[in-house]
Structure 1
């Protein structure tokens, strides 16, 4: 009995010790302090490298501009032929009028703009009466000429015209020719006279880049 009692006392004391250790909180480990941050030393930073970009390739294109200046070159022509510009002054006979003329190599015959075109008969022949003005304030000249024949002229945008043809004397520079001229009745016109190939043939060459080459025409020798 005493042995059993001693054994019970020892077990009781061991249980109390276990309870005492379980009720006692175990100490909490405090976190270790972090070392304080030290400021950076500029000497410890890596050196800054300068980056140089390559320059783009530039292509230089050289442009050469040639300027052409108009130059009048005198070209030798056939003997006894004169040079005419695209515009000239002609003297017309009968009438003794100095008219501004357009030199037209595309026209077969010469043409004259007149006023009050009136056909009539004289001695059984057909004649034509008209007035011719040089564009000034002077009174138009009255002219009567026999009709050689008639021609039909077609112009773009206009009806075909039946025009009388007469012989007239045209003078430019020192050259005079008697040629056929068709008459057209027009009131307002820029060029009262159009000189065609029937005057230019075997008499003149035309330089279309020039104007009024021959200047004031001389009067024909038979003029009063």
Structure 2
């Protein structure tokens, strides 16, 4: 006669790695918090490997010239209060953005320090009207390449 079978329960705990790939890059989610400096604000951002350049929502964008150097004046609404933050940055370049519908759009590009967890880079950021988008900041490949791996099933992996 066979003994009565025993029910054995095995609990497997999987730890999700924080880094991956040959370069041991950090894994980030499709939505992350970024610190933008200047102006020194924290924003929730959409991570998009399909976008070549990162982009920030800006209003009242104007190009000015001072002593032969071109600058861009613009306003970034504070993500917490909505209060306008006046900015002025040296113009890095202009870019022509091809859109699915309508005419191409010329945008100004400035350099800003972007921090996402342990990642900190001084990158080019296009100034655009992102009012109709859920996120005011879009992280593009110019911050991601050789810096991070995206796992779209995750959010807020960086503090």
TM-score (norm 2): 0.83
Cα-Cα RMSD = 1.9
Distance 1:157 1:125, change over 3 A: same
Deviation sequence 1:154-200 (CA, Å, 0-9, x none): 12123210001111110011221011111113445311111111101
More helix by share: 1
For the 8 Å contact 1:116–1:185, the answer to whether it is kept is: no
Q: Whole-Å Cα distance in 2 between the matches of residues 194 and 187 of structure 1?
A: 12
Q: Distance between the aligned counterparts of 2:44 and 2:79, measured in 1?
A: 9
Q: Which has the higher contact order (CA 8 A, sep 6+)?
A: 2
Corresponding residue for 2:47? 103
* Larger gyration radius, structure 1 or structure 2: 1
Residues 1:198 and 2:135 are matched in the alignment: no
Task: After superposing the two structures, state which structure 1 stretch, 76-85 or 144-153, moved more.
Answer: 76-85
Given the alignment of the two structures, is residue 189 of structure 1 paired with residue 141 of structure 2, yes or no? no
Q: Hey, what's the Cα distance between the residues in 1 that align with 2:18 and 2:27?
A: 9
Q: Which runs of 5+ in 1 are unaligned?
A: 1-70, 216-224
Task: Judge conservation of contact 1:154–1:160 (CA < 8 Å) in 2.
Answer: yes
> Which structure 2 residue ranges, 5 or more long, are not aligned?
1-13
The SS at the match of 1:147 is strand
Count of residue pairs the alignment pairs up: 145
C-alpha distance in 1 between matches for 2:37 and 2:102 = 29
User: Is 1:142 paired with 2:86?
Assistant: yes
